[in-house]
């Protein structure tokens, strides 16, 4: 009989149901062929190997199947996620601890604004370089070995920081820690994604982000506790990162490699054993065959191979996935998150909080908010989905950044005037400023004033001591006694009654940012690349994250100087609006799909990917009743699949 092609156009649920009914009655005698040759070869291989293809669970038993898998998920998966996410904890601790340590370091080592920015951004710059090289290391050595290397580097960096006697040695220690952070930041999400079952992948990868925020919170508590030491408190703050690094190192000695990486390297027997160990009592043959078939097809498509990044850029779906992944990481940093985390104590002082200890403990409150609302993200990621969670997060982030800017604007508009003009024998620029706010924008000046209850009087703008920003270069604030009635010295803040607005803005910012933009860029990037491109794709996106992290953290104090504090936060709010438009147009939903299936979400034009939620792509699972069935993808928007009659 001559094969006949019957086009099936899927538009609405009723047509979908008719299509399924037709398949149920005829699939023993029919084969489904896709329109695309590439997708066709993949589905043909899937059918021959008896594996699940990319057209989704049948409507009847998907929920029951999911509940069964959830109930039988072995504890070992959670153990793997925990030890992996210790890398996230170290990431969070080492980036968060610098906020409070810097307040003590700048006094003990007399750090200038440039050295403060160097000590913060050097870690980030080193992380960017090591993240970019992490793709090669992951492909060559494997995920497990890279995590062991990162743990070892963390240990070395923590020891150097704890014994540093000069700012140069501090810089070396911060760079060393940054190298470990970069490798861990791109390896840990990939490892967790590759060992997780599909129905838990989003939550388990998001646990890494939870550990990042947990590390930042613990760091802020440690900062607060050791801020009471009169000397060397910062050594304990920076050196305690050695403890979780040692725990992760010894833990991973006994943990397995990713089964997907093992299969890619031809170690199939070992991969099957690891997959069985991870999945417990579940039958792993179907998943094993799916992974194997995907790798074999990728090897056939690769031909003679070539540079992976060039292959990614030359192939449409991976190129679009890379743009989406790098875009998410870029907008995460342009939203100002690490400015808030690195400089949270400084920002609170800018808003009028005077005492170092008070600023550190309030920064701890903001870190606690970040941690708690990341827990909300872990709970919502598999319920709401990646796309909706990210969109809601960006909307709240933009509004809270606007509130932060308004808080600084109110402080600036109600800034205390300069009422006392001492004779300036050095003819500095400080004598030209008429208010505290203008005085604060000049890094060479500080505000010296007396206070009676809430009113400020006898205030002057005078040069800061080049050796220490804690005192003026000359005059009544150059040698303060701290006794009642002595003048106050403010270097980077103005006395104001609006500091509560800034604190509220910080808390709302973290409550909005943490569940979505804080976690989803890492979760999405761990999912959207095929296996051959996963290490390189994650390395590139993590590198973009760290590069923009450097850009934002290195420029924040200077941006605040030239645009004012409120201008800087209005700028970040505008960038968040651009990020919202990017996600709205370009980010598809990946919830519930197998890693091998997600590539197909990027077969359409980039700006139309965002309109394709995961539940618009349906899957047909081969059963014993339909053994001759072959599979094909049915696109969500007027795509045509063909049924060939034998």
CB neighbourhood size of 422 (10 A): 13
**Contact status, residue 382 vs residue 614, Cβ threshold 8 Å:** no
Q: How many secondary structure helices (H) and strands (E) does the chain include?
A: 24, 6
Alpha helices in 356-420 (DSSP H): 356-384, 386-413
Nearest to 95, CA basis, from 518, 561, 523: 518
Spatial distance between the Cα atoms of 563 and 580, rounded to a whole number of angstroms: 23
**Contact status, residue 570 vs residue 407, Cβ threshold 8 Å:** no
Range from 83-92, 160-169, 258-267, 348-357 carrying the lowest mean pLDDT? 348-357
**pTM exceeds 0.75:** no
**Contact status, residue 58 vs residue 620, Cβ threshold 8 Å:** yes
How confident is the model at residue 189, as a pLDDT?
A: 87
Spatial distance between the Cα atoms of 453 and 465, rounded to a whole number of angstroms: 28
- SS3 call for 33: strand
Separation in Å, CA 137 to CA 146, 253, 447, 538: 7, 18, 51, 12
Of residues 171 and 639, more confidence is placed in 171
DSSP character at residue 475: S
**Contact status, residue 502 vs residue 353, Cβ threshold 8 Å:** no
Please give the share of the chain, as a percent, with pLDDT higher than 90: 20
Element (H, E) at 131: helix 113-141
Q: Which residue has the tokens 């992380």?
A: 127
CB neighbourhood size of 169 (10 A): 13
pLDDT at 55 over 70: no
* pLDDT tens digits along 274-314: 988 888 877 788 888 888 888 887 777 655 456 888 889 98
- Mean pLDDT for the chain? 77
Could you tell me how many residues make up the chain? 646
Spatial distance between the Cα atoms of 485 and 450, rounded to a whole number of angstroms: 8
Separation in Å, CA 16 to CA 12, 58, 277: 6, 11, 38
**Contact status, residue 72 vs residue 284, Cβ threshold 8 Å:** no
Spatial distance between the Cα atoms of 86 and 518, rounded to a whole number of angstroms: 17
Mean pLDDT on 350-371: 73
Helices 386-413, 565-586: axis angle to 10 degrees equals 160
Tokens of residue 240, six digits: 């305690």
Q: What share of the chain is helix, strand, coil (3-state, %, to 5)?
A: 65, 5, 25
* pLDDT tens digits along 113-138: 678 778 877 887 888 888 888 888 88
Spatial distance between the Cα atoms of 20 and 17, rounded to a whole number of angstroms: 5
DSSP character at residue 50: T
* pLDDT tens digits along 483-532: 667 888 888 778 877 778 887 888 889 899 989 998 899 889 988 998 88
Range from 220-224, 264-268, 286-290, 606-610 carrying the lowest mean pLDDT? 606-610
Burial of 424: CB neighbours in 10 Å, binned 0-12, 13-18, 19+: middle
Mean pLDDT on 23-29: 40
**Contact status, residue 190 vs residue 526, Cβ threshold 8 Å:** yes
Spatial distance between the Cα atoms of 428 and 611, rounded to a whole number of angstroms: 59
* pLDDT tens digits along 406-426: 988 888 888 889 998 888 777
Q: How sure is the predictor about 248, in pLDDT bands with cuts at 50, 70 and 90?
A: very high
Spatial distance between the Cα atoms of 558 and 114, rounded to a whole number of angstroms: 10
Nearest to 203, CA basis, from 111, 40, 363, 85: 85
CB-based burial, 25-61: b 16+ in 10 Å, e otherwise: eebeebbbbbeeeebbebbbbbbebebbbbbbbbeee
């Amino acid at each position: 009989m001559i094969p006949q092609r019957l086009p099936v156009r899927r538009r609405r649920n009723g047509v979908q149901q008719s299509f399924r009914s037709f398949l149920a009655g005829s699939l023993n005698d029919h084969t489904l062929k896709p329109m695309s040759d590439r997708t066709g070869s993949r589905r043909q291989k899937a059918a021959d190997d008896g594996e699940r293809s990319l057209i989704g669970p049948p409507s009847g038993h998907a929920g029951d199947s999911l509940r069964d898998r959830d109930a039988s998920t072995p504890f070992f998966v959670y153990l793997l996620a925990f030890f992996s996410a210790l890398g996230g904890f170290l990431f969070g601790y080492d980036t968060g601890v610098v906020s409070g340590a810097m307040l003590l370091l700048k006094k003990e080592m007399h750090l200038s604004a440039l050295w403060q920015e160097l000590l913060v951004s050097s870690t980030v710059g080193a992380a960017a370089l090591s993240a970019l090289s992490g793709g090669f290391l992951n492909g060559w050595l494997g995920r497990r070995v890279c995590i062991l290397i990162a743990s070892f580097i963390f240990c070395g960096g923590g020891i150097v920081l704890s014994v540093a006697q000069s700012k140069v040695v501090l810089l070396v220690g911060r760079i060393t820690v940054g190298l470990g952070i970069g490798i861990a930041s791109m390896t840990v999400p990939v490892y967790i994604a590759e060992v997780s079952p599909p129905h838990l992948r989003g939550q388990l990868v998001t646990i890494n982000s939870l550990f990042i925020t947990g590390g930042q919170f613990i760091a802020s508590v440690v900062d607060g506790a050791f801020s009471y030491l009169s000397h060397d408190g910062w050594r304990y703050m920076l050196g305690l990162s050695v403890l979780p690094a040692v725990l992760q190192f010894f833990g991973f000695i006994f943990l397995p490699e990713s089964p997907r990486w093992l299969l890619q390297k031809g170690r199939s027997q070992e991969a099957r054993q690891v997959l069985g160990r991870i999945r417990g009592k579940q039958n792993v043959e179907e998943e094993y065959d799916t992974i194997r078939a995907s790798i074999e097809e990728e090897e056939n498509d690769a031909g003679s191979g070539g540079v992976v990044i060039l292959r990614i850029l030359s192939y449409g779906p991976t190129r679009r996935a890379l743009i989406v992944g790098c875009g998410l990481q870029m907008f995460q940093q342009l939203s100002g998150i690490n400015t808030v985390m690195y400089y949270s104590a400084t920002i609170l002082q800018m808003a009028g909080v005077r005492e170092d200890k008070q600023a550190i403990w309030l920064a701890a409150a903001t870190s606690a908010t970040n941690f708690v609302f990341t827990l909300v993200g872990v709970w919502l990621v598999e319920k709401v989905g990646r796309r909706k969670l990210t969109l809601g997060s960006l909307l709240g982030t933009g509004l809270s950044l606007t509130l932060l800017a308004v808080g600084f604007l109110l402080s600036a508009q109600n800034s205390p005037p300069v009422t006392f003009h001492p004779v300036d024998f050095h003819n500095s620029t400080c004598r030209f400023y008429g208010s505290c706010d203008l005085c604060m924008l000049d890094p060479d000046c500080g505000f010296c004033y007396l206070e009676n209850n809430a009113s400020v009087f006898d205030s002057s703008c005078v040069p800061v001591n080049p050796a220490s920003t804690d005192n003026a270069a000359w005059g009544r604030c150059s040698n303060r006694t701290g006794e009642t009635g002595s003048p106050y010295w403010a270097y980077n803040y103005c006395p104001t009654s609006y500091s509560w607005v800034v604190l509220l803005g910080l808390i709302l910012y973290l409550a909005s940012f943490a569940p979505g933009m804080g976690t989803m860029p890492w979760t999405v990037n761990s999912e959207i690349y095929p296996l051959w491109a996963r290490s390189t794709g994650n390395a590139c996106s993590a590198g973009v994250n760290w590069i923009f992290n450097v850009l934002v953290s290195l420029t924040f104090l200077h941006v605040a100087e030239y645009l004012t504090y409120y201008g800087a936060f209005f700028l970040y709010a505008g960038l968040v609006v651009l990020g919202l438009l990017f996600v709205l147009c370009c980010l598809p939903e990946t919830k519930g799909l197998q890693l091998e299936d997600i590539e197909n979400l990027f077969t359409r034009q980039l700006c139309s990917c965002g309109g394709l939620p995961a539940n618009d792509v349906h899957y047909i699972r081969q059963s014993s009743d339909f053994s001759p069935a072959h599979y094909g993808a049915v696109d969500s928007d007027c795509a045509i699949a063909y049924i060939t009659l034998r």
